[in-house]
């Protein structure tokens, strides 16, 4: 997605082809900083300290973390050690557990000399698969937004006599939570790109302010009209028919 007009994913290989780079989400929205990961320990710290967050991105980071682990030591013991280290960072994250299982099942039967290359390939596949799934969510969801916009044009519930489709968000379900596009925000991006008149009410999302710090930042960079609101203003907007789609 867009950051100052430049296309980014949330995780990618560095120019050297082996280190991993991520966006440090703890610095947003005040600073856009790229953080380099060179070891499985650094990747585990990035997950635990929420430099990366969102279940899909955590899973993708775990995939590349296993690749970094294999680059350092492709032995059997290190597969187990890396798996356990990463799983302990966010043990309730479903995508984390899934990605680690994928990597362990792939790597364990292979000769040690083949493990590093195989791990990097599968990590890249996990990222591409996630981006494709999120884009598909966006396409299907945008179809619904377009149909609803036409159905309510000139009416209330966000139509506002031909005005924008008003969508209320909470927390962050955009591209920063995934590899690209996002989940719940993906339909908004696709609809906006199609030319649908969309406006987003962004809950601030206390106590960590993911809405204010991440969702609003994402939308601003992509050029999607939005308004940041306090969390308890969402009920007022729905009560007065100022929200078209809620999440």
pLDDT in tens, 33-86: 999 999 999 999 999 999 999 999 999 999 999 999 999 999 999 999 999 999
Of 105, 131, 157, the position where a domain reaches its end is 131
The neighbour count for residue 196, using CB atoms within 10 Å, is 18
The CATH code of the domain that includes 173 is 3.40.50.10470
Using 50, 70 and 90 to split pLDDT, how confident is the model at 161? low
Give residue 246's pLDDT band: very low, low, confident or very high (50, 70, 90).
very low
Q: Give 212's DSSP letter.
A: I
- For residues 33 and 121, membership in a common domain is answered with yes
**Residues 97-125, mean pLDDT to the nearest whole number:** 98
Q: What is the mean pLDDT of residues 188-205?
A: 96
The pLDDT of residue 37: 98
Identify the pLDDT of residue 119. 98
Of 131, 156, 175, the residue that ends a domain is: 131
**pLDDT for 32 beyond 70:** yes
Position 40 scores a pLDDT of 98
Four-point Cα dihedral 89, 91, 97, 100, nearest 10: 30
Same-domain pairing of 81 and 127: yes
Q: Say if residue 7 is in the same domain as residue 126.
A: yes
Query: Do 110 and 15 belong together in one domain?
Result: yes
Q: Looking at 101, 131, 161, which one is the last position of a domain? A: 131
Q: What pLDDT sits at residue 247?
A: 43
- Same domain? For 79 and 156 the reply is no
Q: How far apart (Å, rounded) are the C-alpha atoms in residues 175 and 182?
A: 4
Q: Domain containing 185: what range?
A: 138-246
Statement to judge: residues 16 and 112 lie in one domain: yes
Residues 6 and 111 in one domain: yes
Rg (CA), the chain: 20
Give every CB contact of residue 224 below 8 A, 6+ residues apart in sequence: 188, 189, 192, 198, 200
On whether both 142 and 122 belong to a single domain, the answer is no
pLDDT recorded at residue 148: 81
Q: Are 15 and 123 found together in one domain?
A: yes
pLDDT at 66: 98
Task: For the chain, give the percent of residues with pLDDT over 90.
Answer: 85
| Pair 206, 92 in one domain | no
Q: Does 154 or 151 have the greater pLDDT score?
A: 151
The verdict on 123 and 161 lying in the same domain is no
Instruction: CATH number of the domain at 107, please.
Output: 1.20.120.420
pLDDT at 158 over 50: no
Domain count, the chain: 2
- Mark whether 121 and 183 lie in a shared domain: no
């Amino acid at each position: 997605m867009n950051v100052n007009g430049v296309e980014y994913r949330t995780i990618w290989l560095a120019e050297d082809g082996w280190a991993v780079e991520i966006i440090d989400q703890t610095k947003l929205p005040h600073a856009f900083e790229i953080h380099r990961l060179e070891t499985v320990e650094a990747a585990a710290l990035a997950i635990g300290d929420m430099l990366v967050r969102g279940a899909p991105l955590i899973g993708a980071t775990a995939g590349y973390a296993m690749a970094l682990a294999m680059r350092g030591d492709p032995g059997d013991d290190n597969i187990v050690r890396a798996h356990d280290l990463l799983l302990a960072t966010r043990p309730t994250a479903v995508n984390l557990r899934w990605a680690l299982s994928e990597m362990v099942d792939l790597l364990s039967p292979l000769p040690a000399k083949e493990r590093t290359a195989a791990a990097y390939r599968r990590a890249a596949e996990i990222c591409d698969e996630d981006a494709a799934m999120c884009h598909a969510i966006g396409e299907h969801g945008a179809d619904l937004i377009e149909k609803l916009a036409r159905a309510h044009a000139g009416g209330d519930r966000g139509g506002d006599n031909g005005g924008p489709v008003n969508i209320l968000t909470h927390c962050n379900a955009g591209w920063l939570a995934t590899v690209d596009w996002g989940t719940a925000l993906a339909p908004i991006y696709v609809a906006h790109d199609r030319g649908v008149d969309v406006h987003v009410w962004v809950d601030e999302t206390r106590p960590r302010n993911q809405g204010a710090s991440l969702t609003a930042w994402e939308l601003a960079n992509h050029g999607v009209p939005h308004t940041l609101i306090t969390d308890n203003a969402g009920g007022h907007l729905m009560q007065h028919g100022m929200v078209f789609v809620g999440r």
